Structure 1
Amino acid sequence: MSETRQTARPSATRRQVLAGTGALGVGIAFTGAFSELFAGTAAARGRAGYGPLVPDPDGLLDLPKGFRYKVLSREGDALRSGEGRVPSNHDGMAAFRGRRGGTHLVRNHENRANGKIPVPTVEGLTYDPEGKGGCTALALDRRNNVVDERVAIAGTAVNCAGGPTPWGTWLTCEETEDKAGTNGYTKDHGFIFEVDPADPRRSGAVPLTAMGRFQHEAIAVDPRHGVVYETEDAFDKPFGLFYRFLPNKPGGGLGSLRAGGKLQAMRVPGVADLSRIQETGARFDAIEWVDVPDPLAAGTPIRFQDFGPRGITHAQKLEGCYWGGKCVYFVSSFAKSAQGSAADHYGQIWRYDPSSRSLTLVLVFGPDTDLQLPGEEPDNICLAPSGGLMVAEDGEGAQHVFGLTRRGEVYAMARGRQNIGTPEEPAWGEFAGVTFSPDDDTMYVNCYNPGTTFAVTGPWHH
């Protein structure tokens, strides 16, 4: 993820394309069997959106009429624990059930070695004292008042996304491959760490080394079999891989992943680069899973390693990942042939069905030629109370959270108004970490820069 987004002049070409899809009003286009994204779920039918966005007089967040927001936390403010300041670069996040109707939030901070406000180091919760990233944990009461905010893990690096586990913990992912001695780090980075949202000291700061050392983005857990699926966000060639981790203790529970397991990478026979596939509905059977030669990448990054004469399947910008029904869905945010991909696209959503060992291209976003309007590079994705999806777009220009209904209708749910550019050349920080409270009454979402966490309430469709 990046920190600033630039504007561009409107494009009649893109408006014509969007008008042809019926999506002109919200500025996003896609093709594919959208209903596939919800196969096997028990979510509601998914009515259309909530109407046009109303400009926020305070200049923070535009929402539809009837919705309101509360700012829970901003970078630079004092942590309620007294451990220091709220770190910058708010990224992936998840919500967990708390006591007496409250909610626990765990929030990533994608700080690099030169991060503006690092995650404060705390004894017993710090992996590498020179790492500037990590997570903070917020405890909220049933009215979304912050009753506690503290460090959940520190000394990690570039904590981008991750995912919740069925047993109620958060897996935070480092999106880096830097080793000890690089950027001042004293330990190798590129791992997954488990965080207990209610009591971070129970989880500590232990890298789950068997799950691989690479540029992690997000994870999703098969709740029945305990298999963990992992995406790799590699911008440059060779691009990232899609992984699965077979734990030695698939029953789950805090600390169970420390028992190790086997890391494998997905091979789609005959497909070296997923960007080559352009037709939605394209299905590949007999998907293979190949053991990773060196999960710790001691000498060579995993995506460079030798997977045999048949190679392995790569994809540019593998990002969001979630479990729905009996399948895992993952996102390729974009592919650009100028950067080495086999073909161009503006975002794909793939579905892998473990029972049939099949991979299907479900959705393709774009095309997009107007950077002032959204419609490219889907990133964080979560299921919404209405039965659809909420998508945090990681593109150029104005920054939105989009809703996508089960019927394939698209609507703008939120628009960021915090200008981090100039009046003449405005720019906006992207959204990240969109998630819902356990009772589905609140949407929590982060603005990456300036780091801001919002709680959004209103007349949600249930």
Structure 2
Amino acid sequence: MSATRRQLLARTGALSAGIAFTGALSELFTTTAAARGRRGHGPLVPDPAGILDLPHGFRYSVLSRAGEPMLSGEGPVPGRPDGMAALAGRHGRVHLVRNHENRHTSSLGVPAVEGLTYDPAARGGCTALELDSGNRVRSERVAIAGTAVNCAGGPTPWGTWLTCEENEDKAGVNGYTKDHGFVFEVDGADPRRTGAVPLTAMGRFQHEAVAVDPRSGIVYETEDAFQRPFGLFYRFLPGKPLGGTGSLRAGGELEAMRVPGVPDLSAIDEPGVSFDRVEWAPVPDSSAALTPIRLQDFGPRGITHAQKLEGCYWGGRSVYFVSSYARAAEGSAGDHHGQVWRYEPDRRRLTLVIVFGPDTDVRLPGESPDNICLAPGGGLMVCEDGDGAQHVYGLTRHGEVYPVARNRQNTGTPEAPQWGEFAGVEFSPDRETMYVNVYRPGTTFAITGPWD
């Protein structure tokens, strides 16, 4: 590719960026709109309020802002909203369960609530909003507290949220009183049903996101490790699959993905390349009592690593997962500005579906995909987590990028502007509303419009 991202996205409201990445996207699209190859919803319209730019015909409402009082009276809305799920409630209501990626030093932490707090020294956790059919907030409260660096997660087939700690500090480190690095189950409708119980059998590592196979109950997990050796892609075989709320506490087996002959996924740069002999190696010590899992001995055949494993979701009969970027200068085997991988359990096949860059211009939007979800009209919605202006983008079946939203809340200065990343993109159960967070300043939006 000779065109740069600067040429393709010379203006923020550009309709599409047709060669910003390469890949075979047709497998992700099943709707009539996708089959027509529609190129999005048109250019972004500047918001007079300077908050959120959207295409013509779309509207947003602010559901929640960090620092404002929660309706429950438990304290201020915590900061750093990240991964999120929109779960169906009764009478058309929606339960938004929202992560807060707070570290031990965060000022706007999740308030400790009796019966919902794992480690009183930790500042992360989740809040839950109940919305009526008109997206009006009816309640907002703590759903789990005392966890650390809750980044992403994933919904379960039985209507709960699995929140993940992107942290593996042990008790005594940074003032923590308990070990961290776990997955917790959260019931958005009634958080006390699930409490604050770590699902220890699912492993202790720097979790990012999870996706549940609705047929088998197997849970796939990504690890976002910051330094070499980079993270692994896991699957958890539950002892009580698809057993409903609390079933994951019954234990199970944790395995890591091994692609024979491929120690680092960043070395693969050609979309469409597949591997048909994917193996799953038992994790020697899932509790990482002495050694982080990615450093453990998986035998002479080793294990497969990848830098910045982040978003993960289930679609059709496959699980998709994202590598936000890889940098050879940081120890990866190759360079890219984002990959999307597809694993088909029935065939034990792994395929590289999309590659972003590296011949694109990273000073302009579009690199470093993070949270992703399926869009109502077919295709993907991608939260950008890079430098400069921050967008939610849609991806068409023809490999075209189109803008959906731009964060206009400048947290820097007029001379040196800064915009917080988007996170937690998700659609309502009726597919008529897109919910999304802006990480900084912490803001949760509901966006309506002609999605189909």
Q: Under TM normalisation by the shorter chain, which class is it?
A: over 0.9
Alpha-carbon displacement from aligned partner over 1:371-407 (angstroms, at most 9, x marks no partner): 4421211110000101111000111110000011234
* 1:49-88 deviation line (CA, Å, top 9, x unaligned): 1111011111110000111100000000000000001000
2:34 corresponds to which letter in structure 1?
Answer: R
Tell me, in whole angstroms, the C-alpha distance in 2 between the residues paired with 1:18 and 1:278.
23
Which residue in the other structure is 2:77 paired with?
86
Matched position secondary structure for 1:108: strand
1:408 to partner: Cα distance: 3.0
Q: Give SS of 1:36's match.
A: helix
Residues 110, 145 of structure 2: 8 Å contact kept? yes
Correspondence for 2:34:
45
**Preserved contact between residue 392 and residue 422 of structure 2 (Cα < 8 Å):** yes
Residues 331 and 77 of structure 1, relative CA distance in 2, 3 Å threshold? same
CA 1:442/1:18 → structure 2, altered by over 3 Å: closer, same or farther? closer
Q: CA deviation at 1:252?
A: 2.7
Describe the shift of the 1:49–1:451 C-alpha distance in structure 2 as closer, same or farther (beyond 3 A).
same
Aligned equivalents of 1:341 and 1:266: distance in 2? 18
Shift of 1:445: 0.3
- Quote the residue 2:211 is aligned against: 220
Off by >4 Å, runs of 4+ in structure 1: 16-19, 23-28, 41-44
RMSD: 1.7
Q: 2: distance between equivalents of 1:336 and 1:460?
A: 35
- Match of residue 432 from structure 1: 423
The residue that corresponds to 1:66 in the other structure is 57
Aligned match of 1:3:
none
For residues 127-166 of structure 1, what are the alpha-carbon distances to aligned partners after superposition, in whole Å with 9 as ceiling and x for unaligned? 0000100000000000000000000000000000000000
Higher mean displacement: 349-358 or 25-34 = 25-34
**By how many angstroms is 1:342 displaced?**
0.5
Shift of 1:350: 0.6
CA–CA distance in structure 1, aligned partners of residues 4 and 86 of structure 2:
40
**2:27 aligns to what SS in structure 1?**
helix
1:173 correspondence with 2:161: no
Which residue does the alignment assign to 2:402?
A: 411
TM-score after normalising by structure 1:
0.94
CA distances 1:427-451 after superposition (whole Å, capped 9, x unpaired): 1000000000000110000000010
* 2:22 corresponding residue in structure 1: 31
* Deviation per residue, 1:267-321 (Å, 9 max, x gap): 0000000000111111111111000000000000000000001110000000000
Distance in 1, Cα, partners of 2:160 & 2:8 = 43
Aligned to 1:129: 120
Give runs of aligned pairs for residues 159-238 of structure 1, distance below 5 A.
159-238=150-229
Matched to 2:442, the amino acid is G
Give the direction of change, closer, same or farther, for the CA distance of 1:155–1:43 in structure 2 (3 Å limit).
farther
Give the partner amino acid of 1:316. Answer: Q
Matched residue of 2:350: which SS?
Answer: strand
Distance in 2 (CA, whole Å) between partners of 1:100 and 1:405 is 34
In structure 2, relative to structure 1, the CA distance for the partners of 1:285 and 1:25 (3 Å cut) is closer
Cα distance, 1:460 vs. partner? 1.4
Between 371-380 and 60-69, report the one with greater CA deviation: 371-380
Letter in 2 for 1:133: G
The gaps in structure 1 that reach 5 residues or longer are 1-10
Deviation at 1:98, TM superposition (A): 1.5
| Match runs of 1:108-123 below 5 Å | 108-123=99-114
**Partners of 2:57 and 2:9 in 1: how far apart?**
27
Whether 1:313 aligns to 2:331 is no
Question: Could you say what secondary structure the match of 1:414 adopts?
Answer: strand
Task: Name the SS of the counterpart of 1:45 in structure 2.
Answer: helix
Letter of the 1:282 partner, please give it: V
Which amino acid counterpart does residue 203 of structure 1 have in structure 2?
Answer: T
Distance in 2, Cα, partners of 1:15 & 1:417: 20
Q: Secondary structure at the match of 1:230?
A: strand
Residue 212 of structure 2 aligns to which amino acid in structure 1?
V
Q: Give the AA of the match of 1:311.
A: G
Offset of residue 233 of structure 1: 0.4
Pairwise CA distance, 1:370: 3.5
Match of 1:6 in 2: none
Structure 2 residue ranges without an equivalent (≥5): none
Separation of aligned partners in 2, 1:430 and 1:72 = 17
Instruction: Return the TM-score normalized by structure 2.
Output: 0.96
Query: 1:240 — aligned with what?
Result: 231
CA contact (8 A) 1:321 1:328 kept: yes
**Which amino acid in the other structure matches residue 101 of structure 1?**
G
Instruction: Tell me how far 1:324 sits from its aligned partner.
Output: 0.7
Distance 1:365 1:371, change over 3 A: closer
* Closer, same or farther: CA 25–352 of 1 in aligned 2, 3 Å: closer
CA deviations on 1:332-373 (whole Å, 9 max, x unpaired) are: 110000000011011001111111111111110123553442
- The separation in 2 between residues aligned to 1:357 and 1:443, in whole angstroms, is 33
Partner of 2:441: 450
Corresponding position of 1:4: none
Residues in 2 aligned to 1:267 and 1:346: alpha-carbon distance in whole angstroms: 23
Deviation at 1:43, TM superposition (A): 7.7
- Summarize the alignment of residues 356-375 of structure 1 with structure 2, pairs less than 5 Å apart: 356-367=347-358, 370-375=361-366
Query: How many positions carry a matched residue from both structures?
Result: 446
The answer to whether the 8 Å contact 1:15/1:24 transfers is: no
Cα gap change, 1:123 to 1:32, in 2 (>3 Å): same
SS at match of 2:34: coil
The answer to whether the Cα contact below 8 Å between 1:14 and 1:367 also exists between their aligned partners in 2 is no
| Alignment correspondent of 2:246 | 255
SS in structure 2 of the partner of residue 201 of structure 1 = helix
Question: 1:447 corresponds to which letter in structure 2?
Answer: V
Separation of aligned partners in 1, 2:32 and 2:234: 27
* Amino acid across the alignment from 1:285: D
Letter of the structure 2 residue corresponding to residue 233 of structure 1: D
Distance 1:327 1:369 in 2: 29
CA pair 64-182 structure 1, distance change in 2 beyond 3 A:
same
